[in-house]
Amino acid sequence: MPDKIIIFDTTLRDAEQTPGAALNGTEKFEIAKHLAQLNVDVIEAGFPRSSPSDFEAVQRISNEIEGPEICALSRVIDQDITDAWNAIKGSPKPRIHTFVGTSEIHIKGIMRSDQDTVLKKAIAAVQYARSLCQTVEFSPMDAARTEPQYLYEVVEATIEAGAMIINIPDTVGYAIPSEFGQLITGILKNVTNIDQATISVHCHNDLGLAVANSLEAVKNGARQIECTVNGLGERAGNTSMEEIVMAIKTRGGHFDQVYTEINTKEIVPISRLVSRLMGISVAPNKAIVGSNAFAHSSGIHQDGVIKQRDTFEIIDPEDVGLKESQIILSPRSGRNALRHRLDVLGYQIEGEQLDKIYDRFLVVAEKKKEVHDADLDAIMSDEVRSIPETYIFEYIQVLSGTRISATTTVGLQNQGKIIEKSTAGEGPVDTAYKAIDLITNLPLKLVDYNIKSVTEGKDAIGEVTIKVQNGAHLVTGYGASTDVIEASARAYVDVVNKVIYQNSR
């Protein structure tokens, strides 16, 4: 039978120590509710001794959140442990987590103490915590840099004192996977009563190895992983909850001896909530929850994903709470990606018409770098005509400024030939329309001109809508481009074609 990996979430304790990420009590409670929906096994709700507000937040979470164990952190100090217990005793499943540094550099550099004294403090703290709470976790802080024989001695003594979970922290992210795995193996081989406790790990990401170290620990016998949403935490952060969970789920054949009970469809929602409340953006390339994690820009990748998702995706985006993959339309996108997105938007385009729209799309994509649905709608409105096109817009060139008259050159195609005219006048739109009048020999009376932005940003597509008087009728023309003068010219050519078609009938 596979073993369950206990997911111990310390977002509300260790991640909250991220500079600038302080949460108020209401925000901590909101995250705790979502962690319960995520179905984590343990919520480390805070460090009650650190402040009255943290005590109150932990107490509220303990009293009102159902499902996970609620854990409070304490140093090996009686008052810390007392405060931790008073904060969590309202929970149906309380846990006290106490810790002390055991590496030589911590013992001498921080505590100015010695190994015997630290060992006695650890034993006394666990005994006192166990007198209050049934479930006690002990952490020999900086275990990855602790002398192994002393670490074995501390672990064995604290289990004897009543600790049911022994957490092995790589506090400064110093270990590499092979040696961290050997550390766990060494504990299993050299601690005589280790079968009476669960081995946990708490890895930091200073070398970018937190997830790798945690997975290696699991392979070597650890059965609890301490982690945070979005990998937040001190310095470079902690083991990323979403990466650990999805690694175990996605590589089930490799981790066939273990499983988690996380509701993975809540991963993206909790990631976004934590990011919003802590005010810390998720990097676009962050695994699992980054905005680019399921986004495809390369034409080859887009074509593959459209045809068969798992050609370039090892995780179904729906499994982590997303609706679908993102096909990012860019200059690198191919016709298949464009046709797929147009299909989604309701446009059925094939053959020569697709080729023409693809050419137009590439022009826009080169200017904007990314083309959005609103851009495509604008292009389609501009390109897909219900009437024959007597004149086809080809190009426009404008010379204009505050102290010179505008000069505009326009080129239109008619029956396969390019006709070009230039005019000077008051402004680029006025001169563009005059040049078109010279080409078409169809002077029109403009009665309305309107321009608006389709999308946000300086490179947004502009939509121009105009109306001209044609006898007793008003005729509307439409044009779109990242260049508003070009959009204006396209709208005027559109209305010219409509007038010619109308007059012919």
Residue ranges per domain, the chain? 3-278, 295-383, 392-504
CATH ID of 392-504, from 3.30.160.270, 3.40.50.2000, 3.30.420.40, 3.40.50.2300: 3.30.160.270
Q: Cα(493)–Cα(484) distance, rounded to whole angstroms?
A: 14
* Contact indicator for 42, 95 with CB cutoff of 8 Å: yes
Q: How far apart are CA 271 and CA 207, in angstroms?
A: 23
- Alpha carbons 352 and 374: distance in angstroms, whole number: 23
pLDDT one digit per residue (tens) for the chain, 505 residues = 899 999 999 999 999 877 767 788 889 999 999 999 999 999 999 999 999 999 999 999 999 999 999 999 999 999 999 999 999 999 999 999 999 999 999 999 999 999 999 999 999 999 999 999 999 999 999 999 999 999 999 999 999 999 999 999 999 999 999 999 999 999 999 999 999 999 999 999 999 999 999 999 999 999 999 999 999 999 999 999 999 999 999 999 899 899 999 999 999 999 988 988 887 888 888 999 887 777 666 666 666 656 776 676 768 778 888 766 666 677 777 788 788 777 766 677 788 888 888 887 888 777 767 776 667 777 776 666 657 889 999 999 999 888 788 999 999 999 999 999 999 988 999 999 999 999 999 878 899 998 988 666 666 778 888 888 887 777 878 888 888 999 999 999 989 998 898 788 6
Torsion 124-130-131-132 (CA) sign: positive
d(CA 177, CA 191): 21
Residues 201-217, buried b or exposed e (16+ Cβ, 10 A)? bbbbbbeebbbbbbbbb
Q: What is the DSSP letter of 266?
A: G
For 143-195, strand residue ranges (E) read 165-170
May I ask the CATH architecture of the domain 3-278? Alpha-Beta Barrel (3.20)
Return the DSSP state at 371: B
Burial 409-419 (b: 16+ CB within 10 A, else e): bbbbeeeeeee
Provide the CA 465 distance to its chain's centre, in angstroms. Answer: 38
Amino acid identity of residue 310, one-letter, is D
